[in-house]
Structure 1
Amino acid sequence: MTAEGKDNIAYKYRNYLVLERSLSPNSVDAYTKDMAKLLSFMQDENLTYRDVTLDYLQQFVAQLYDLGINARSVARIISGIKSFFNFLLLDGYIEADPSELLETPKIGLKLPTFLTIDEIGAIQKAIDVSTKEGQRNRTIIEVLYSCGLRISELTNMKFSDLFLDEGFIKVEGKGSKQRLVPISETAIAELENYMHYRKQQQPKKGSENIIFLSNRGTAISRIMVFHFIKEYAAKANVKKNISPHTFRHSFATHLLERGANIRAIQLMLGHEKITTTEIYTHMDKEFLRQEIIEHHPRNKR
């Protein structure tokens, strides 16, 4: 759909909120901002309105949590998204509402789902690593968990971001902010196993430096990771509703449970809005690595 078409729908949706739903100016502004968040996600995924499915919307919601948005705000955004798709359905832009089964978080309950160490192990055991796709997928899961990465940080990871001899990877997070994150020996071993297959691939132009490739030779997409994680969880009989973000949350939860410094965890997750240089001016990077070595279960021998 063209930019002009999207602008036209946005205009019509705002009129729908004002004229048909009789919402207050503040509510109209909130709903249109929620729509803008969704449109930005759709643009990143190269989606039209008709392409959006429940799985895509669940990935969108997972990213909201990844940004640190609380459950109450997520519930409000989902309400806005449901309103928008209801409008699209009523006006004939789509034939079915993909948000119909999208669940709203229960306010005041526990934080987003995390996995136990045994559940993570079961998911990894469900992967056939004798194939290049299997080894790639197992490596992706291990790096997500061992380093606490956002899915976008993983899919954009380049060979030039690896400093494995030093035990770190460079990560570019939100707002192009960079940080160094310690990487476990287990994740390094999985990466080395995957490199055997990666060297045999022919990347498309522009993807030569990307680590995790699809079979087409381009950077693996976030939705592809979302789907195979769901598939392996089902094979492992893990009943929790998980996404790539679940491994990031598990990373932080397991470190906290084992007494890691909360400041170190915040820095490793990239929640502080300061540059890598500023981070390591105030906190020695070897201390961050030691927090991982001492507290992350992947480093227990």
Structure 2
Amino acid sequence: MIDEVQDYLHYLTVERGLSENTLQSYQRDLKQYTTFLMKELKHKELNEVRRNDIMAYLYHLKDAGRASTTIARTIASIRSFHQFLIRERVTDQDPSVHIETPKTERKLPKILSSQEVENLMEAPESNSAFGIRDRAMIELLYATGIRVSELIQLNLSDVHLTMGFVRCVGKGDKERIIPVGRMATEALTTYIENGRGKLLKKKTTDALFLNHHGNRLTRQGFWKILKKLSRAANIQKELTPHTLRHSFATHLLENGADLRAVQELLGHVDISTTQIYTHVTKTRLKDIYSTYHPRA
């Protein structure tokens, strides 16, 4: 079974071009699934697996307290894996075909208020190369709505400040050209001219954002920076890199942006993914009404 999983992951990498994070999710889901099949159900071949076996695994996850979103993602991984096995003629039947995905409640994303965004922008130190870098990263995230994985993969050649845009490669190796506003452009210009060179440490790299070793900044490194800035800005709510992406989309829609345009900027394949932000703006309107209407 281990070999089949590796073949499937190779297929996802080469033919589907999935991101490293998505591949890790598939790998984790399928490793746990096949381990259960081999150790708990004593199966030696994937062709032995039946619908009841998959149901037993899903009940196992439920008994372990896994969230419905986790179970839904696991079902998607298992279903895709078994469809691959059929196509490759490793198995002659698909035991996942009639398994229903549990309904999951879509949680409204947490966002920052405009004032909290301002406080966060003012948190980095303006007199150090690290502070200049941090300000540029936060400004760029909020200005473009790109994912943190896209942010840290940016190279100098992806930034076109005179034209006012950045080029980023998102999920499925899809390229997006995203406009950058005046304030983010100024912060990036300051970083490139006055901060980045001090972080290079005589190294040669095209990476835009660098750590204290002069290497490309990692996701973990950015998380630590964001937590530090959150404390400095006295932001009480939970702040993640995705919070800035959510705030970017919600604030655009609140100010009259077209939903399709926001979908393009975020790089969402399906507009239903973007529509979650319209619910956020409706909730905000309701809160404003309840607060300020004299007979609410």
TM-score over 0.5 for the alignment? yes
* Structure 1 counterpart of 2:167, one-letter code: K
> Structure 2: how far apart are the matches of 1:202 and 1:108?
46
> Superposition RMSD on alpha carbons, in Å?
3.4
* Structure 1 counterpart of 2:69, one-letter code: S
> Structure 1: how far apart are the matches of 2:40 and 2:141?
40
Tell me the residue number matched to 2:200. 202
**Further displaced range: 146-155 or 234-243:** 234-243
> Structure 2: how far apart are the matches of 1:127 and 1:31?
47
Tell me the residue number matched to 2:158. 161
> Structure 1: how far apart are the matches of 2:202 and 2:57?
42
| 1:137 is the counterpart of 2:134 | yes
Pick from 205, 222, 228 the counterpart of residue 225 of structure 2.
228
Q: Rate the CA distance shift 1:32–1:268 in 2: closer, same or farther, 3 A.
A: farther
SS of residue in 2 equivalent to 1:201: helix
Tell me the residue number matched to 1:215. 212
Equivalences for residues 32-47 of structure 1 within 5 A? none
In the comparison of the two structures, how many residue pairs are matched? 201
> Structure 1: how far apart are the matches of 2:40 and 2:251?
44
The offset of 1:212, in angstroms, is 0.1
The offset of 1:159, in angstroms, is 1.1
Q: Is the 8 A contact 1:127 1:134 kept in 2?
A: yes
SS of residue in 1 equivalent to 2:136: helix
> Structure 2: how far apart are the matches of 1:202 and 1:32?
50
Q: Rate the CA distance shift 1:168–1:230 in 2: closer, same or farther, 3 A.
A: same
TM-score by length of 2: 0.59
Tell me the residue number matched to 1:125. 122
* Structure 2 counterpart of 1:73, one-letter code: T
* Structure 1 unmatched runs, 5+: 34-70, 79-106, 274-301
1:225-251 C-alpha deviation (Å, 9 max, x unpaired): 112212221222211111111101100
The offset of 1:208, in angstroms, is 1.1
Tell me the residue number matched to 1:73. 69
> Structure 1: how far apart are the matches of 2:231 and 2:71?
26
Q: Rate the CA distance shift 1:262–1:194 in 2: closer, same or farther, 3 A.
A: same
TM-score by length of 1: 0.58
Tell me the residue number matched to 1:254. 251
* Structure 2 unmatched runs, 5+: 4-26, 43-50, 62-66, 75-103, 271-296
> Structure 2: how far apart are the matches of 1:253 and 1:75?
28
Larger radius of gyration: 2
Pick from 248, 259, 269 the counterpart of residue 272 of structure 1.
269
Percent identical: 33
